Each structure stands twice: as C-alpha cells, then as structure tokens.
Amino acid sequence: MLSRTGVATCENIESILPPKERLQKGPVAVIECFQQIPCNPCYSSCPRNAIKPFDDINDLPVLDYESCNGCGTCIHNCPGLAIFVVDETYTEEEALVKLPYEYTPLPKVGDLVEALDREGKKVGQAQVVKVQNAKGQDRTPVLWVSVSKHLSQQVRNIGMEG
Amino acid sequence: MLSYEIAVIGGGPAGLCAAISAAAAGASVALIEKDRHLGGQLVKQTHMFFGSKAQFASTRGIDIADILSRQCEELKNITVLLGATVLGYYDDQVLTIEQDNKVQRVKADCLVVATGASEKVLPFPNNDLPGIYGAGAVQTLMNVYGVKPADRVLMVGAGNIGLIVSYQLLQAHVKVAGIIEAAKHIGGYLVHASKIRRAGVPIMTGYTIKKAYGERKVEGAIVWQLDDRWQPIPGTELDIPVDAVCLAVGLTPMGELLWQAGCQMIYVPQLGGHVPFRKATLETTVPGIYVAGDVAGVEEASSAMVEGRLAGLAAARRLGYHNADWENKYQDALQQLMALRSGPVGEKICSGLKCVVV
C-alpha cells in the first residue's frame, strides 16, 4: 500500500495509465500523483492545457490524453518529480521513458545504465538517448532513456553512481 | 532607543512576508533576524515548493529566500537587523536585542512574532553519541556549509523533513540505509517518498529506534518493530550499521517571547505544541502582538508565507495604513490559506486551528 511503502501499487498505476490506444500513438505523460496535496504547477505549466483545470488546488491532476503530446514541460515543473513521459512507439522493440533526474554526475548520451523500477530495483538495461538540462528547467534535468518495450511502465529511475 | 511602527521577529518565510506586506502598506518596519542572513529555513531548501504560483510553486526554497530578501531590500521603509537576537519583551512594546555584542532597545507599536519552530528529539540509549543529528543540522551542514555529514545514515521519521533530507543526502552522495517511521503510514507527501524509494532506499513504517551503539561515535543502530499499541515487539530487532542517525521526528513552536509577553497559550498537539490563541487576523490575546508561521502552529512554508502576509497587513491596518488595495490583499491571503488547508493533508491543521482561533 502506497502510504506504507512509498511505492505505487498496480491499482494506483492502472488508475492513471493512458489507454492502450493512446500509448500506441506516441509520447504521453504518465502522472504518478496519487495523494491530494495543495499543488498545481502541472496544470499551470502545461503549454497545451492538457491537464484539466483544478476546482480545488488539492485536486489530483486529470490528463486529457488526446491533448497531451508528451512534450515533458510538466516533468521538471512537478515539485514532486512524479511525472514521466512514455513513448511506446520509439522503435519496434524499445520504448522511450523521460524521467526527472536530480543527481550528479549526469549520465552522457549513449551511456548504458541500469534501469530501475519504482523500488529502485534493477529490472533491465537502459540507454541514455538525451540529457535535457536547459536553463528553464531550473536544475531538474530530464533524461530520455530507451528501454525494452515491456518495461516502459516499470522503469522510473536509472542506476546512480557513487 | 530605536523606534519603529512594526517589529517583525524572525526573517524566515513568515517574517519576510510579514515585513514586506506591512511595509508595502506604508508602515515603518524593523525585521529582526538572529542569523547573519535572511531566509530562515528556506536557505536549506533545495527542493521545489508545492502550492500554486502565489506561493512560488515549482520554485526552490533557496530561490524563494532570494526573491523575498530582494523585495525587502527594495522597500526603503524596512530596516533589516541581522545577527540580532531578541532577548526579551518588556511592557510598552519594548524589545531588548543583542547585536554585535551590544544590547540595545527597540520600541515598536506592533509586533509580528515569526520565530518559527525547533526540532524535537527522541529519547533512546546513546542518543548523545557524536553522529546523532537533528535533520536541520544535517541540512545546514550540507546545504549551507557544503560539508558532508556522514557516509551512511539512518533517517528516523518519514514526515516531509525526513523524506526531503534523505533525498538531499542521496544528492550529496551519502548512502541512506533506510528511513524508519513509528507510525503505520508515511507522514510526508507520498511523491517525496516515491522519489526516495525509486532510488533504492527502504522505508520501514511501524519501526522505531531501540538504541544507537558505538565506541566513541555512532557505529550503528538497533531498530525494532512496534505493535498496534506502539509497544516494541521483542525479537524484531534489526542491526543497521551507519555512521550517523538523523532525527526528523517533528517540530515544536518556539513561543518563548509570546509567553513572556503574556499571550494566552494552549497546548495543541495538531499544531506541534504550545501555541497562542489568535484572531483570524493572527493577533494574539495581547493587543498589537501578531503571530505568523510555525510559531503559530507547525505547517508548510507555503502557509507560513501567506500567514506572514496576513499578519503584516493586519498590523499595518491597526496602525491606520488602510488603502484601497488593502481589503483585496487581505481577502486574497485568507483565500489562499483556506485553499492550502482545504484538502486531506490540511485536516490536521484545521482541527488544531479550531482550538485556537477566537
């Protein structure tokens, strides 16, 4: 149970996962925010207004999967670092996962790294495809990593050095 | 004797906002801070804030300290006294302060007390060994002085501070052996917990520390499980080798000045300890003395900033500063506070406030 372990359960994940048909169309945000806390930057930062307006600042975000194009602006704006973008159309065998990563050293493009799940356990290998660290991201770099397609909804971190 | 219309005691998020809103309304303000810099705990907070734009959501605490300090500097009717410790409160609104080894008196028509909170400690054998830290000390060492506090840490407490400091330890390349939490559930925001978990750090709810051990400094800790009545269960002990134990077991308001000033106080567990009775304007039972932030009840820094704005506005109004804009700003602050507290995580605060708002 999430409130005891800090790890989202399968039911938690299923409740927010974009539908299969949407995942097959390309990159889309996966918002792993399951607790009502007073917080709305995902909504206010989305350039496409894909997150529905909050009636109350404590509302959970509701994503309009069709409006979201997986741009990832919400990833570095989410104070809880709880948003990921998954692209299951990346290649035939691989999916792309964009994840926030506030650790040093930053990996380099091309690096092969451990793919970690929500418990920090190694579930496979990931390759770093891109490291986004623009000034506007305010020191929350976003890593694009490619992983085996069946791991697209499991991989949420990479092995940290040091 | 220095004389101001409003003296704000404490230059953290609440005090900064109180000084800014009171000065913007027209009052002459002294902002008295015991540290050598403004910002209070904000300067250690490298994570992004929650809330909405009005409370600087998505901005890091340390940057919020800069933004608010700059706003203070721009207001010519704010005098900032740094390295200045308020020693006492005397009748007729006179404060004695110590600054640069000199004691002086400051007179103010109104006071905003924004002295914050202090960390609670936990009694257990060997809790006086070197290597037993409060979470605030660990944050200060790392984030203010750039000193690595340890190599491998056991965190005690899974509230927001325990979770956030654990994350910052990981960022500083310190191993976190685990986070133990006596309650059955994680007290902090679950997004913070998930961040720590995917970095491989275990969180053990229903566990407490039995003792620390070590010859001259901490070499490890024994933790054990608690039953439903919070009693330790013999046989569940685990030995966790660490060179530091970090305590993040809650905060308690620092209301000494309020006691001295004769404000009526009450013990409210939901607010962290003894807190003053106050009106909706945050005025205590002593006319002209206002409170804001953790000293009024331990809560998030976002609410502390809004409370500061509210108290600053109310104090300014008491002195006759009441322009056309005042009512809008006041109502806006009230609305923001209500919104921040309206969800499930605000329930505890709201139940505590019911006991103290008169």
B165-211: per-residue pLDDT in tens? 999 999 999 999 999 999 999 999 999 999 999 999 999 999 999 99
B204-239: per-residue pLDDT in tens? 999 999 999 999 999 999 999 999 999 999 999 999
Residues sharing a CB contact under 8 Å with residue A136, sequence separation 6 or more, in sequence order = none
B124-161: per-residue pLDDT in tens? 999 999 999 999 999 999 999 999 999 999 999 999 99
B274-302: per-residue pLDDT in tens? 999 999 999 999 999 999 999 999 999 99
* Average pLDDT of chain B to the nearest whole number: 97
**Do B280 and B302 meet the contact criterion of CB atoms below 8 Å apart?**
no
pLDDT score of A162 = 41
Q: Name chain A contacts of B199, Cβ cutoff 8 Å.
A: 120, 157, 160
Please check the confidence at residue A161 and state whether its pLDDT lies above 80: no
The architecture that CATH gives domain B2-118+251-353 is: 3-Layer(bba) Sandwich (3.50)
Interface of B with A in 258-287 (CB under 8 A): none
Question: Predicted confidence band at B323 (pLDDT cuts at 50, 70, 90)?
Answer: confident
B121-247, CATH topology level? FAD/NAD(P)-binding domain (3.50.50)
Chain A nearest-CA distance from B254, in A, is 26
Shortest CA distance from B61: residue in chain A? A79
Which of the two residues, A60 and B322, has the higher pLDDT score? A60
The rounded distance, in Å, linking the Cα atoms of B143 and B134 is: 14
To 10 degrees, the CA torsion angle through A2, B251, B157, B189?
20
ipTM: 0.97
Helix, coil or strand: residue B142? helix
Q: CA separation (Å) from B284 to A2, A106, B265, B277?
A: 40, 50, 9, 6
Q: Name chain B contacts of A80, Cβ cutoff 8 Å.
A: 50, 189, 191-192, 194-195
pLDDT score of B92 = 82
B91-117: per-residue pLDDT in tens? 888 999 999 999 999 999 999 999 999
Q: CA separation (Å) from B306 to A44, A135, B60, B200?
A: 20, 28, 17, 36
**Do A118 and A156 meet the contact criterion of CB atoms below 8 Å apart?**
yes
Average pLDDT estimate for B264-279: 98
Q: In this complex, which of B57, B198, B343 lies closest to A157 when CB atoms are compared?
A: B198
pLDDT score of B223 = 98
Cβ-Cβ contacts under 8 Å between A and B: the total is 135
Can you give the residue range of the structural domain that contains A145? 2-158
Burial class of residue B254 (count of CB atoms within 10 Å of its CB; 0-12, 13-18, 19+): middle
Kindly list the domain boundaries of chain B, sorted by start residue: 2-118+251-353, 121-247
The rounded distance, in Å, linking the Cα atoms of B133 and A158 is: 30
**Do A73 and A46 meet the contact criterion of CB atoms below 8 Å apart?**
yes
A74-110: per-residue pLDDT in tens? 999 999 999 999 999 999 999 999 999 999 999 999 9
Size of chain A, expressed as the number of residues it contains: 162
Residue labelled with tokens 């070499």: B219
Amino acid type, B3? S
Q: Is the bond leading into B149 cis (omega within 30 degrees of zero)?
A: no
Q: CA separation (Å) from A119 to A116, B8, B139, B204?
A: 7, 45, 25, 13
Please check the confidence at residue B11 and state whether its pLDDT lies above 80: yes
Q: Name chain B contacts of A77, Cβ cutoff 8 Å.
A: 58
Per DSSP, helices labelled H in chain B are 13-25, 61-74, 135-139, 160-171, 190-197, 256-260, 301-318, 324-341, 347-353
Burial class of residue B358 (count of CB atoms within 10 Å of its CB; 0-12, 13-18, 19+): exposed
Average pLDDT estimate for B48-75: 97
Q: Which of B55, B171, B198 to mutate to test the interface with A (most CBs of A within 10 A)?
A: B198
The 10 Å CB-count burial string (b at 16+, else e) for B34-64 is bbeebbbbbbbbbbbbbbbebbbbbbbbbbb
Among residues B126, B145, B135, the alpha carbon closest in space to that of B179 is found at B135
**Do A146 and A95 meet the contact criterion of CB atoms below 8 Å apart?**
yes
Average pLDDT estimate for A48-74: 97
Q: Give chain A as a 3 state SS string.
A: CHHHHCCCCHHHHHHHCCCHHHHCCCCEEEECCCCCCCECHHHHHCCCCCECCCCCCCCCCCECCCCCCCCCHHHHHCCCCCEEEEECCCCCCEEEEEEECCCCCCCCCCCEEEEECCCCCEEEEEEEEEEECCHHHCCCCEEEEEEEHHHCCCCCEECCCC
Residues sharing a CB contact under 8 Å with residue A78, sequence separation 6 or more, in sequence order = A33, A41, A42, A100, B48, B58, B191
If one counts the domains in chain A, the total is 1
Please check the confidence at residue A160 and state whether its pLDDT lies above 80: no
Q: In this complex, which of A6, A35, A39 lies closest to B203 when CB atoms are compared?
A: A6
Which 8-state DSSP code applies to residue B132? E
**Do A29 and A70 meet the contact criterion of CB atoms below 8 Å apart?**
yes
Q: How many CB atoms lie within 10 A of CB B121?
A: 12
**Do A118 and A97 meet the contact criterion of CB atoms below 8 Å apart?**
no
Among residues A144, A154, A6, A147, the alpha carbon closest in space to that of A76 is found at A144
Is B49 touching A (CB cutoff 8 A)? yes
Which 8-state DSSP code applies to residue B345? G
Among residues B27, B71, B64, B32, the alpha carbon closest in space to that of B47 is found at B64
Contact A39 B50 (CB under 8 A): yes
Q: How many CB atoms lie within 10 A of CB B185?
A: 14
